[in-house]
Every structure is written in C-alpha cells, then in structure tokens.
Structure 1
Amino acid sequence: MTYKITGSAQVNALAALRIINKNVATVQQQVSSGYRVETAADDATYWSYASVMRSDSNSLQNIHDALGVGASKVDTAYTSMESLIDQLGDIRKTLVAAKEAGVDKTKLNTTLTELKGQLQTTVQSTNFAGENWLLNRDPSLPTSRSVIGGFVRGTNGEYQAQTISYPADQTVMIDTTDANRGLLTKTVDANTLNSDGTSTARNYYLLNAGSTTAASGTEIALDANTTSEQVTDMLAVVDSLLSQLTATAAGLGTMSARISDRISYTADMSDVIDKGVGALVDTDMDEASTRQTALLTQQKMGVQAISILNTAASKVLILLK
C-alpha cells in the first residue's frame, strides 16, 4: 500500500519557497543588469518614458557634436575676418601715405597689390569641413550660413531641428559669379566732396577676382597720375569696407557666443535626462544588495523548513508500515 501525506504546512512552505526563489532571481537579474525596469514587461509605463528620454539624450549628444563642428566653422570665419580687418587697415595706411607730397605712388602700388593679394588668399583659404563662408562660387547666393542649435518635439512628438543662422550676404567677401555680391569685390560709391565744394559720385571696387559679372567703376590702385581727390575717394571706400567688416566680425562673435551657450546647455540637459532615466529604470544597488541578502536568508530558512517537515513526514510513514 502507498501512502501520500499532503499537509498544509508542506504546501505552504513550498509555495513560500517558490515565491522567494522567484524574488531572488528577479533581484539577481536587477543587480547583474543594473536595471530595475529592463523591458516593457517589467513596467510598461516607466520603460516607455525611459525609451523616449534615451532618444532625446542621444539627439542632444548628436547636436552637441554638431555644435562643436559649427563652432569651429564660425571661429574659422571670425579669425579670417580679424585678419582681413588688419590687412584692410594696412591698405588704408598705404593710401594715407599716398596723399603725402612727392611720394612715389608707383612703389606704393606694389605694396598695395601685395596686400590685396593677401586679402584674396585669406578669403580663399578660409575653409573648414568643406565650407568657406567667405567665398561663394555658386551661381546663386545662399540665404544664410547656419549650424544646428537644438531640437524640439512637435505636437505629435515629431523631431524638429532648430538652427542658429547668420545672413550669408554679410559674410561673403568674394563672389566669383557676381562681383557685387562680395564685400571686397563689389562697387562702392565714394561720393566725396571736390576741391570746389561740389559732390561727385565716383565708383570704386577693391579686388578684381575675375567674377563672371564684374564690378563697375575703378579698381583701387595707384599710379603716377593718381590725384589727391582720387586717393580721398579710395580712402572713403576702404573706410566703408572696414566698417562693414567690423560689423560682420561682431555678428560672427555674437553667433559664436550663442553656440557656446548651446554647447553648455546641451551637455547639461543631456546629463539631466540621463539622471531622469536612471531614476526611472536603474537599480538602486544599495537597496537591491540588502534585499538580496534578506531573500537568500529567507531561501535558506525555507529549505530548512521543508527539510524539517519532510523528516517529520518520514517518521509518520515508518509508523504506518
């Protein structure tokens, strides 16, 4: 005859041990993976929030990297602008020297030609990541120079990029298609006073870059026949160009400051989002370690309890034989 003893104590002990074993496995998984909510099955709401926040954090990191590239582009253009301002200042000094009586204007023109060549070289060499903000070789002029500055989510959660822009017509120094679209190649009206007090509009341009559509007027240059009035006109043109160059450099400096602010912002915001994700799904290692120790103790006690109950049942079976 076979005897089967099913006591409530054994059943309860086994049920409790199964629950403890399951909890031990869960805590061990949380400790080993580092996640309290690893999949949607663990907590669909928190997992969904964390997934969106991770996507935002990744987007911010990409924007942070793109801002670094954009900052280098702006800094490259700004550095060249400073160099152009210095070179244009040297051109102005040369023209001022040309107003002195008895000076050899032909020799001064050699210096002037060299300085103009340096201007052109500076513009053509201002290249970063395949872009030259100071030189335009395209048939049409771009509306703006821009770098990515951030992103927002639309009403339906879609990704929408934001940019930091600067007008392209203010940064182009040389335009090989239309000279009048480049600051250093365009026609400038001197409109200075004559010796008799009358005003005459005289057009000059600084550089001849071989543009398809050339500038009108006279190129700024010196020779033995250059009059004092003409030098005055040239100085007026150079002063105008210096003023515009300074304004453009100031604008690029402001743009650089905005980019620096955005770089700091995206880095800080990415850290905040990562902390938020951690609060939602990461395992609290101190709590998990304490809980794991407690569950292992409970597991041992459960096994011992079942062992004691099985021993008692064995003694009963012996009596029944």
Structure 2
Amino acid sequence: MSIYRREAVDAALYVLRDVNRNLLTTQRQVATGLRVERASDNGAYWAISTKLKTDQKAQSAIQDALGLAGATMDTAYSAVAESTDLVSEIKAKLVAATETGVDKTKINDELTQLKDQLRSVVSSATFNGDNWVQLKDGDNPAKPREIPASFIRMADGTVRVDKLSYQVDISPSGTTTSKDARYLVDDRPDQSGQNGVFTSVHFATETGASQNYVLVKTAGDSTGQVEIALTENTSQDQVKEMVRVVDAMLNQMTTVGSAFGALEKRISLQSDFSKSINDNYSTSISRMIDANMEEEGSRLKALQTQQQLALQSLSIANAAYDTVRQLFQNI
C-alpha cells in the first residue's frame, strides 16, 4: 500500500459527502413540508405553482367579494319582503275604507304609520354603505350593479374578472314605465322618482287614475305627485283608484323580489363553485410541491443510518491509513 494513495479514505469521504447532501435535502423537506421550495429544486413545477398561488389569492378575493355581496343581497331581499307585507297592509286598509260609514281619518292615521315604516325600512336596508332598494344622489339606474363573480386565466395567459349584475330595464328611447321601477324609492334630487315603486307616478297613469298617486313622495322633484292618503272628503271612486295603484305596485314589487331572489341564488351557487375552484388550486399546488411526509420520514431515518455507517467507514479507513503511515515513519 502506498502512503500517497488513500483510496479507502477518499471513497469513504465521497460516500459521506453524498449522504450528507441527501440528508440536508431530506431534512429541509421534512422541516418545510415542501419538495419544491425554490426554483433550483424543480424550475417547471416552481413556476407553475407560483402562478397558481397568485391565482388562488385572487380567487380568495372573489370568495370574499361574493360573501359580501351575499350579505348585501340578503339585506335588500329582506327589505323587499318586509315592504311587501307593509304595502299589503296599506292595500287592506284602503279596501276597508270603501265600506260605507267608515271613519277615513282614523284609517289614514294607520296609513301614515305604515308609510313612515316603509320609509324606515328602505333607509335601513344598507349594508356596508350600499343600498340596493333606494336610489340617491349620484346613483345611475341605467348602470348595472355589479358583483365580482369569478377570476379566469385564459389560455394565452391573460386574466379577466367576470361579474354578476342587477340591471334596471331602461327603455332605449329613454321613456320610462312602471316596469323600470326596479327600486323601492327613487330619491335622486334631479329626478321625479320614476325608478322607485313607491315614488313612481307611472302606476297611477297606467291604471287610469285621476291623480298622480304615489305611496311616498320622492325627495327629488315631487311636482304633481299626490301621496296616497284619506280625508273625510275622499270619494269612493278615489279610494278605488288608490287600491288599483297600490295593487299595481305590489305586482311590481314581486318582480323586484324575484330578481333579487334569483341573483341571491346565483351568488350562492357561484360562491360554492368558487370554493371548489379554490380547493382545486390547493390540491394542484400540493401535488406539485408538497413532500410526501411518510416517504421523507422513512428516507430521513435511512439517511441518518447511512451517515453513521459512512462515519464508521471513514474512521476505519483513516485508522488503516495511519497504521501504514506509522510503518514508514522511521524510514
């Protein structure tokens, strides 16, 4: 054996270095739970998973927006349902006023309370600063109310955000009808309340009423509006006109309620789908970059054993080399 050649020692060192390198990699995977933590681990998987993570964050934002929209729609639908009950009560009071000998002033006191409650319900139907049943200064009924619904990455790498919308059926000619009253109250200062069920005179004109009856006057331009109310001098024909107007309003309220209900259901379905997409993102990312903890745990134990054996081999090789070196020490 040559004292200048250390094949056994070098071989033991090579094995030990290889084991230590694999051991460090496995220890890092066990500690982080990831087999692809950096681009150097697997460039392709790292790039795909990084893009998926950013998309997942966007999808999570969509989920949050849908949750907020769902709460907003719950508030709006509750307002419509409560208002429908109140308007039904108003209709019943007006029908009662058609009876001979009824004190119309006392019935009017009840009507006043019911109308005040309608105003209270409409004003209170606000969630996170957004009211979907009342038009106020700056609101545009022709512009749809939009809700972020989905985040989509196209095949060419571009992205888009699709939205759900609630849009008023504004006539292309600009002439509104009772069908355009898709809100409960229209209080825009520069308008005559035409897009609110309770403030639109179209229900009166379309039913042939002698006056422009409304349930509550708009806070905007109320010129010509006649709020439904009773006095001792209110004729039976006028009461019957009021009943027809209120009944037409109730029919339109069912349309508004149905639209809100349909959109609320769509939001619920989209929210469930968004959660599924988010779960799919997590699963896909996990498959690409997560370490198999059972496999890596077993590998860690095996490498630790190999490290001990490699250290023993190196120790034996060094001892053998020292023995040979000592033979030539005094030569």
Equivalent residue runs for 1:257-276 within 5 Å: 257-276=265-284
Check if 1:204 corresponds to 2:228: no
Partner of 2:166: 166
Q: CA deviation at 1:190?
A: 5.2
Unaligned runs of 5+ in 1: 193-198
Encode CA deviations 1:72-97: one digit per residue, 9 max, x unaligned: 10000100101100000010001101
Kept in 1: contact 2:9–2:314 (CA 8 A): yes
Q: CA deviation at 1:249?
A: 0.8
Task: Tell me which amino acid in the other structure corresponds to 1:205.
Answer: V
Give SS of 1:189's match. Answer: helix
Kept in 1: contact 2:148–2:162 (CA 8 A): yes
Partner of 2:151: 151
Task: Tell me which amino acid in the other structure corresponds to 2:230.
Answer: L
Q: CA deviation at 1:140?
A: 4.7
Are residues 247 and 75 of structure 1, via their aligned partners in 2, closer, same or farther at CA, if it must alter by over 3 Å? same
Partner of 1:315: 323
Q: Distance in 2 between matches of 1:170 and 1:149?
A: 26
Are residues 111 and 300 of structure 1, via their aligned partners in 2, closer, same or farther at CA, if it must alter by over 3 Å? same
Task: Tell me which amino acid in the other structure corresponds to 1:186.
Answer: S
Q: TM-score, structure 2 length as denominator? A: 0.88
Give SS of 2:234's match. Answer: coil
Q: Distance in 1 between matches of 2:134 and 2:223?
A: 16
Q: CA deviation at 1:200?
A: 7.1
Check if 1:175 corresponds to 2:186: yes
Are residues 171 and 74 of structure 1, via their aligned partners in 2, closer, same or farther at CA, if it must alter by over 3 Å? farther
Encode CA deviations 1:89-125: one digit per residue, 9 max, x unaligned: 0100011011111111122112112211111111111
Give SS of 1:162's match. Answer: strand
Superposition misfits of 4+ residues, deviation over 6 angstroms: none
Q: CA deviation at 1:314?
A: 1.8
Q: Distance in 2 between matches of 1:207 and 1:244?
A: 16
Q: CA deviation at 1:156?
A: 4.3
Encode CA deviations 1:2-45: one digit per residue, 9 max, x unaligned: x8432333322221211111111111111111111101111111
Q: Distance in 2 between matches of 1:248 and 1:126?
A: 15
Q: CA RMSD of the aligned region, Å?
A: 2.0
Q: Distance in 2 between matches of 1:200 and 1:241?
A: 13
Check if 1:251 corresponds to 2:259: yes
Kept in 2: contact 1:180–1:186 (CA 8 A): yes
Task: Tell me which amino acid in the other structure corresponds to 1:189.
Answer: A
Q: Distance in 1 between matches of 2:19 and 2:223?
A: 87
Give SS of 1:295's match. Answer: helix
How many positions carry a matched residue from both structures? 312
Q: Distance in 1 between matches of 2:21 and 2:303?
A: 10
Q: Distance in 1 between matches of 2:146 and 2:209?
A: 40
Q: Distance in 1 between matches of 2:206 and 2:14?
A: 100
Give SS of 1:138's match. Answer: coil
Partner of 1:56: 55
Unaligned runs of 5+ in 2: 169-179
Kept in 1: contact 2:104–2:231 (CA 8 A): yes
Kept in 2: contact 1:35–1:281 (CA 8 A): yes
